[in-house]
């Protein structure tokens, strides 16, 4: 109890000191008000201070422990003040980024998107000329990174959302056009997301989606060979639309699973599977795998113009 009372006796004074320090820095003009949101970057510092306090109080006794604990708190406050006052600014509000890359000599391509909470619209296009891709991003927080390896055709779009954890939301809305003259491998890693893939005009080599809670709407064209579509996440709503007459199989596994496959409904706790009658003998087909906690999956057939 003595250790707990000692720690508690420093916690609230430290909070008051921290608030007072930043109020003073703002009032004298050393720190703009819009920099205060950088404090949310420092939430792990609280855990570090608590851990150091516990170590000090176990290793030292009496006044020595109190002095060491106070120094830890003061150093943490000083470091936080320096970080907010001197660290690089993070843009506020909604920003936009438009970028593109040329096809060059690329004969196959891959795109990997890494983001936190996201809204993604991805579309195959034959009307973007000699551009391999065109991307429009609306975002808040840190500027997304967009890089293209022109030799391999690998496109990487990411926003490292290391600020705020669950205390602060970020916006990441990506509209991406992909040149339909080359085959594409598509990968997406996100948190909570709502994604639309309009890929009927695209030669898709594979789709690999890893997400948290998400809604995925995927329209694909005629496959070449066996094309895997893999989706992993928590609570998933997945709709996959393929051309009429195209062979496909689907496996849904996790907790509560609901599957509608070409109009046939099934539900289970565990794993559900279905496939077209010609799947085993088809050379061109889709192989769909969905793994999650709660999964609602629809796989249906549409005309190429749908």
SS3 category, 219: strand
Q: Quick one: pLDDT at residue 61?
A: 76
69 pLDDT tier (thresholds 50, 70, 90): confident
- What lies within 8 Å, CB to CB, of 202 at 6+ separation is 124, 178, 180, 184, 220, 221
For 47, 88, 110, 234, 244, the CA distances from 185, given in Å and listed in that order, are 41, 35, 4, 23, 23
Start-to-end CA distance of the chain, whole Å, equals 69
Contact 248, 279 (CB under 8 A): yes
- In this structure, of 8-22, 158-172, 270-284, the range with the lowest mean pLDDT score is 158-172
The larger pLDDT score, comparing residue 109 to residue 82, is at: 109
Phi, psi of 7 (to 5 degrees): -65, -45
Q: What single DSSP character describes residue 8?
A: H
Q: Quick one: pLDDT at residue 196?
A: 97
Gap between the Cα atoms of 194 and 215, Å rounded: 5
Average pLDDT (116-132) is 94
- What lies within 8 Å, CB to CB, of 215 at 6+ separation is 193, 194, 195, 236, 237, 238
Q: 264: which strand partners? A: 261
2 pLDDT tier (thresholds 50, 70, 90): very low
Contact 122, 198 (CB under 8 A): yes
Contact 186, 109 (CB under 8 A): no
Strands 131-139 and 118-125: unpaired
Q: Quick one: pLDDT at residue 213?
A: 85
| Averaged pLDDT score across all residues of the chain | 84
Each residue's pLDDT tens digit, 149-204: 999 999 999 986 544 444 444 689 999 999 999 999 999 999 889 999 999 999 99
| Residue linked to tokens 């250790």 | 3
14 pLDDT tier (thresholds 50, 70, 90): low
DSSP string, 234-259: SEEEEEEEEETT-EEEEEEEEEEEEE
- What lies within 8 Å, CB to CB, of 45 at 6+ separation is 76, 79, 80
SS3 category, 24: helix
Average pLDDT (3-8) is 46
CB-based burial of residue 93 (10 Å sphere; 0-12 exposed, 13-18 middle, 19+ buried)? exposed
Cβ-defined contacts of 11-18 (< 8 Å, 24+): 14/73, 14/76, 14/77, 17/73, 17/74, 17/77, 18/77, 18/80
Each residue's pLDDT tens digit, 203-232: 999 999 999 889 999 999 999 999 999 999
Residue 30 reports pLDDT greater than 90: no
The larger pLDDT score, comparing residue 302 to residue 26, is at: 302
Gap between the Cα atoms of 5 and 20, Å rounded: 23
Categorise residue 262: left if φ over 0, alpha if ψ from -120 to 50, beta otherwise.
Answer: left
């Amino acid at each position: 109890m003595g250790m707990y009372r000692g720690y508690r006796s420093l916690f609230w004074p430290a909070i008051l000191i921290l608030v007072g320090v930043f109020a003073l820095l703002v009032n004298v003009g050393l720190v703009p008000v819009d920099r205060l949101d950088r404090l949310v970057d420092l939430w792990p510092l609280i855990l570090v201070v608590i851990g150091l306090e516990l170590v000090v109080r176990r290793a030292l006794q009496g006044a020595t422990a109190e002095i060491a604990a106070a120094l830890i708190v003061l150093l943490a406050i000083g470091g936080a003040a320096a970080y907010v006052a001197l660290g690089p600014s993070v843009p506020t509000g909604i920003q936009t980024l438009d970028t593109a890359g040329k096809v060059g000599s690329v004969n196959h391509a891959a795109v990997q998107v890494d983001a936190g909470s996201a809204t993604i619209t991805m579309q195959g296009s034959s009307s973007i000329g000699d551009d391999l891709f065109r991307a429009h991003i609306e975002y808040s927080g840190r500027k997304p990174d967009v890089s293209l390896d022109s030799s391999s055709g690998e496109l990487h779009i990411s926003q490292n959302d290391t600020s705020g954890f669950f205390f602060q939301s970020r916006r990441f809305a990506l509209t991406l056009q992909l040149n339909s003259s080359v085959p594409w491998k598509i990968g997406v890693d996100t948190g909570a997301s709502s994604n639309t893939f309009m890929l009927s005009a695209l030669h898709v080599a594979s789709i690999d989606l890893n997400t948290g809670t998400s809604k995925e709407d995927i329209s694909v064209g005629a496959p070449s060979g066996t094309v895997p579509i893999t989706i992993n996440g928590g609570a998933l709503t997945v709709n996959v639309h393929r051309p009429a007459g195209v062979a496909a199989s689907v496996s849904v596994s996790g907790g509560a699973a609901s599957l509608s496959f070409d109009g046939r409904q099934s539900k289970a706790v565990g794993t559900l599977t279905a496939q077209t009658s010609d799947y085993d003998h088809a050379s061109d087909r889709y192989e769909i795998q969905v793994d999650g906690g709660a999964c609602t999956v629809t796989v249906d057939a549409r005309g190429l113009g749908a």
